[in-house]
Structure 1
C-alpha cells in the first residue's frame, strides 16, 4: 500500500470535500511543492473519462516535476480512482467544479493545466466560464492532449444508433463496449444534458494564456480534425498544434511522453516570462 506521503517525490496525499449535503463528495489529490523554486509554477493534471491519477502520463509528469523541481498536483474526479462518489452521477459541470475546487485548495497563482481528452474539455471549461468557476486568473498556460471538448455532442451522439439514443432517453443510461477496459463505458442522460450546458465550441474561448495541443492523427476516438476545429475557437496568438502522424488516443508511447514533456517545459518557460 502506498504511503500517504511520498518522501522520494515530495508528494503529499490529501482529501478535500466538494459540494454540500447529499451532493458532497471527497476528492483525493496528491500534491508536490517545489523544494527550492519559490515561483515555480504548479502543473495540474486533468485526466480523461474513466481514467485516474495513477496513469502513465500522470506518473510521467510527476517524474518531470521532480527533475525540474516544479509544483505538481493530480487528482481523481468523483467516481474515479481514489475519490468518493458514484461515477454515474458524474457530469462535465460537476467534474469541472471539482477541478476548480482543487485549484482553490492549491491557492497557487501560477498554474499550468495539463488536460487529456475529457480533461482538456474541463480545462477549457474553466477558462470559458470564468465567472462560474472563478479560477481562470490562476492559469498561466495550458497543455491539451488529444482534446475532446464537447465530445458528448460532437463525437458520441452522431455515432449512436436510433435505438441507443432511445435507450438513453427511456433508461437514463447506455452501456457501450470499451476499447480500453473490460468494463463497458457508461453514458448517462444527465451527462449529455449537462454537456449541452457546458459546451465550449459554441464561440471563442479566450484562455488569456498560451495553449499547446498535441493530437494523434491515428486517434480512433478523437479525429484530428476536431483539434483543428478547436484551434479555430482559440483567439490567443500563442496557440501551437502538434500533429503526431502515427499517434493514437493515449499518446503514451515513449516518444509521445517525450513530446509531452518538452512541450510542457516550453510552457513553463512561457509562464516564467509572463511573471
Structure 2
C-alpha cells in the first residue's frame, strides 16, 4: 500500500451549541469525474482512532479509483477535532456523524464502520430511517463491529476496582495494546451506551450489509459479530470470517477484502 498521493485538505464544521459546541475536522474528497448516482463513501472510525489510520486512507484511495467521493472525519476528542475525549459518548459522536453526513454527503452513502464505528453506523442508519432518509443508504460495511460494546463487552467484565473507580472518579483506565496511553472509559460513556443499544431488537438497514471479522480478535470476539447477524434478519448480509485476523484488520490482505466488500456496494 502506498501513501495517499495528495493529502486532502482539512475543513471544519461546528456541532452543538453553547458549552457543548465543538469543531469537527473532516477531509472531504470529491471524485475528479463523478459518476451520476455513485454514493459517497463515509468512514466511521473506532474508539480512539482517527481519520489518518491505514483503513481510512485506503477507503479514500479506493473511492477515487472507483470514481466516488469520500468523507472521513474525527469525532470530538479525536485527531484534529476539538472537544475533550472524556466528554465523549455514543450520543455525542452520533450527533457529530449525522452533522458531517448532512454537510458533506447529502446524497446516497455507503457507511464503512470500524469497531465502535460499526455501532455508530448502525445508530446513524436508525436515525436516518427515523427521519425518512432511509433511501440514502446504498450499503453498509462493518469491520470488527462493536455494537453495544459498553454494555456487552465492558460492563460484564468490570473488576471491583474498576467499578469503584467509576463510582468515585467517574472513569477507569486500562492499558491499551495500541497506544502507550491507557484507554479511559467514563461513567457517562457507559451510561449513555445503554441508551443507544442496538442489540435489543431487530435492526433494519434497508441496504446490503457486509461484515468483516477476525477470528483472532482479542477485543471483539467473533461471536459478537455472529450475534449481530441475528439482529439483521431482513437484510442481505454477508459475513467474511478471517481465520487469522486480529481486531485492526489492517494487513494488505485485510484491506483487499475491505475494498472488495465496498466494491459490491458501488456496483
Confirm or deny a common fold (TM above 0.5). Answer: yes
1:84 equivalenced with 2:60 (yes/no): no
Match of 1:11 in 2: 8
Unaligned runs of 5+ in 2: none
How do 1:92-171 residues align onto structure 2 when only pairs under 5 Å count?
Answer: 92-130=90-128, 136-171=134-169
Match of 2:266 in 1: 268
The SS at the match of 1:11 is: coil
> What is the deviation of 1:126?
1.3
CA distance in 2, matches of 1:19, 1:120: 23
CA distance in 2, matches of 1:232, 1:223: 15
Match of 2:23 in 1: 26
The SS at the match of 2:57 is: helix
CA distance in 1, matches of 2:9, 2:37: 19
Per-residue CA distance 1:33-89 (angstroms, 9 max, x = gap): 122223221100000000000000011111111211211000000000000000000
CA distance in 1, matches of 2:109, 2:101: 8
> What is the deviation of 1:257?
0.4
CA distance in 1, matches of 2:208, 2:193: 25
The SS at the match of 2:97 is: helix
> What is the deviation of 1:255?
0.4
The answer to whether the 8 A contact 2:209-2:235 is kept is no
Cα distance change on mapping 1:133 and 1:248 into 2, 3 Å: farther
> What is the deviation of 1:235?
2.4
CA distance in 1, matches of 2:263, 2:247: 22
Per-residue CA distance 1:132-176 (angstroms, 9 max, x = gap): 677544222100000000000101112211221121122101111
The SS at the match of 1:261 is: helix
CA RMSD of aligned residues (A): 1.6
Match of 2:229 in 1: 231
CA distance in 2, matches of 1:182, 1:50: 12
CA distance in 2, matches of 1:140, 1:236: 15
The answer to whether the 8 A contact 2:10-2:26 is kept is yes
Cα distance change on mapping 1:14 and 1:63 into 2, 3 Å: same
The answer to whether the 8 A contact 2:171-2:187 is kept is yes
How do 1:163-242 residues align onto structure 2 when only pairs under 5 Å count?
Answer: 163-242=161-240
Match of 2:64 in 1: 66
Q: TM-score, normalised by structure 1?
A: 0.91
Cα distance change on mapping 1:111 and 1:160 into 2, 3 Å: same
Q: TM-score, normalised by structure 2?
A: 0.94
Cα distance change on mapping 1:242 and 1:12 into 2, 3 Å: same
Cα distance change on mapping 1:133 and 1:249 into 2, 3 Å: farther
Count of residue pairs brought into register by the alignment: 263
Per-residue CA distance 1:220-256 (angstroms, 9 max, x = gap): 0000000000000012331111100000000001100
The answer to whether the 8 A contact 1:57-1:257 is kept is yes
The SS at the match of 1:83 is: coil
CA distance in 1, matches of 2:131, 2:174: 32
The SS at the match of 2:239 is: strand
Unaligned runs of 5+ in 1: 1-5, 270-275
